[in-house]
């Protein structure tokens, strides 16, 4: 019934924790296959997964030589044999009732494309300034399965969709997304935009839960600003807007306006003992960084 696709690139150790979480949580109430797509790993991924597959026949190990997360995700669904494909990040573990919730969503949920909730997994500790919301897609306004508006999107790190729908839209666009060690985004939003163009509703379920690793390199403000900037470089295109001088200047105006508003809004909070300089940097500059990335891409500076 369910094909779980885990795409991976050189994270062999943490990948094993992810796969073991699936093994430990799987209740065998319905058939699954666990497809691991190796996107040119040079570490021990191949050896580790092959050994694990020897004792768990539902694990499939596949190699995708074309570098890029979108290529790997497309290989995953094309290799799937079941009606539902669930994409799971390789640095995540599952909530205890994960498969029970998946069963409900497949049989009674009423949607063909559903994203879940990821909560932070602090394997390497949590700095005192680091808020849980920095590493979660929690939407407090939703307490159960909910259809999202056209401007809301779910995360590809915990994302289930009917295989037939992926075939209809041609899967993920390889022009977007991570490529090796290069940080890039957009493939998930782009896919959801194209699904919606076909009349497919996107739903969010806060009861479909994973715990997503917060790696050491994300425990600093520089990561937040850099990732937001990189998101901006694909934001206009994935939302079907053109990159040109007009949209670029428009994005710059938004970035400047947001910065000014945020400086006024957040600077006074530095007087609070529970509000740190790191919080101020993220609150003030993260959103403008996205629009500055869109500006740079629009006018050809990046």
- Label residue 264 by pLDDT band (50, 70, 90): very high
223 pLDDT exceeds 90? yes
What per-residue confidence (pLDDT) applies to 244?
A: 85
Q: What six digits make up the tokens of 288?
A: 């403008």
Please determine, looking at this structure, whether the domain spanning 2-218 carries the CATH number 3.90.550.10.
yes
In the chain, % of residues over pLDDT 90: 92
Query: 36 exposed, middle or buried (CB, 10 Å; 0-12, 13-18, 19+)?
Result: buried
215 pLDDT exceeds 90? yes
Nearest to 179 by CA among 34, 40, 19, 12: 40
What digits encode the pLDDT tens for the residues 266-287?
999 999 999 999 999 999 999 9
Average pLDDT over residues 50-71: 97
Average pLDDT over residues 69-75: 98
What per-residue confidence (pLDDT) applies to 219?
A: 97
- Label residue 77 by pLDDT band (50, 70, 90): very high
- How high is the mean pLDDT of the chain? 96
What per-residue confidence (pLDDT) applies to 168?
A: 97
DSSP letter for each residue of 225-270: HHHHHHHHHHHHHHTT---SHHHHHHHHHHHHHHHHHHHHHHGGGG
302 pLDDT exceeds 80? no
User: Which residues are within 8 A (CB) of 230 and not within 5 positions of it... i.e. 6 or more apart?
Assistant: 183, 184, 185, 293
Rg (CA), the chain: 20
Average pLDDT over residues 217-221: 96
Query: 196 exposed, middle or buried (CB, 10 Å; 0-12, 13-18, 19+)?
Result: middle
What digits encode the pLDDT tens for the residues 160-207?
999 999 999 999 999 999 999 998 999 999 999 999 999 999 999 999
What per-residue confidence (pLDDT) applies to 28?
A: 85
- Label residue 118 by pLDDT band (50, 70, 90): very high
Q: How far apart are CA 2 and CA 6, in angstroms?
A: 13
Of all helices (H) and strands (E), which one includes residue 290?
A: helix 277-298
290 pLDDT exceeds 90? yes
What digits encode the pLDDT tens for the residues 12-41?
999 999 999 999 999 888 999 999 999 999
3-state DSSP call for residue 89? Answer: coil
Q: How far apart are CA 144 and CA 257, in angstroms?
A: 35
What per-residue confidence (pLDDT) applies to 245?
A: 87
What per-residue confidence (pLDDT) applies to 136?
A: 98
What per-residue confidence (pLDDT) applies to 301?
A: 83
239 pLDDT exceeds 90? no
In the chain, which ranges are E strands?
A: 2-8, 32-38, 59-63, 84-88, 92-94, 113-121, 146-147, 158-162, 203-213
What per-residue confidence (pLDDT) applies to 147?
A: 98
Contact (CB, 8 A) for 210 and 99: no
What per-residue confidence (pLDDT) applies to 224?
A: 97
Q: For the chain, give every domain's residue range.
A: 2-218, 221-298
Break the chain down into helix, strand, coil percent, rounded to 5: 45, 20, 35
Q: Is 68 left (phi over 0), alpha (psi -120 to 50) or beta?
A: left
97 pLDDT exceeds 80? yes
Q: How far apart are CA 88 and CA 161, in angstroms?
A: 12
**Upper half-sphere CA count for residue 170 (Cβ side, 13 Å):** 6
What per-residue confidence (pLDDT) applies to 300?
A: 86
CA 176, distance to chain mean position in Å, is 13
């Amino acid at each position: 019934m369910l094909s779980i696709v885990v795409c991976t690139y050189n994270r062999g150790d943490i990948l094993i924790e992810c796969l073991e979480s699936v093994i430990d949580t799987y209740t065998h109430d319905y058939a699954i296959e666990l497809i691991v797509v190796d996107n040119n790993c040079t570490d021990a991924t191949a050896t580790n997964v092959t050994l694990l597959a020897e004792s768990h026949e539902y694990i499939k190990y596949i190699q995708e030589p074309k570098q890029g997360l979108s290529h790997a995700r497309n290989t995953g669904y094309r290799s799937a044999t079941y009606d539902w494909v669930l994409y799971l990040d390789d640095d995540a573990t599952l909530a205890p009732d994960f498969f029970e919730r998946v069963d409900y969503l497949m049989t009674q949920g009423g949607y063909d494309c559903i994203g879940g909730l990821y909560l932070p997994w602090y394997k390497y500790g949590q700095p005192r300034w680091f808020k849980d919301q920095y590493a979660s897609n929690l939407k407090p306004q939703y307490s159960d399965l909910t259809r999202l508006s056209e401007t809301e999107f779910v995360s590809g790190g915990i994302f289930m969709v009917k295989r037939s729908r992926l075939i209809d839209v041609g899967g993920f666009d390889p022009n977007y997304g991570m490529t090796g060690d290069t940080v890039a985004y957009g493939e998930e939003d782009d896919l959801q935009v194209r699904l919606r163009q076909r009349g497919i509703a996107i739903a969010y379920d806060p009861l479909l839960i994973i715990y997503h690793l917060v790696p050491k390199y994300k425990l600093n403000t520089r990561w937040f600003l850099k990732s937001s900037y990189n998101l901006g470089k694909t934001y206009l295109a994935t939302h079907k807007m053109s990159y040109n001088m007009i949209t670029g200047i428009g994005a710059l105006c938004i970035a400047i306006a947001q910065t000014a508003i945020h400086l006024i809004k957040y600077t006074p909070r530095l007087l609070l003992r529970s509000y740190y300089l790191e919080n101020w940097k993220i609150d003030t500059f993260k959103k403008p960084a996205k629009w500055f990335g869109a500006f740079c891409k629009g006018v050809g500076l990046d």
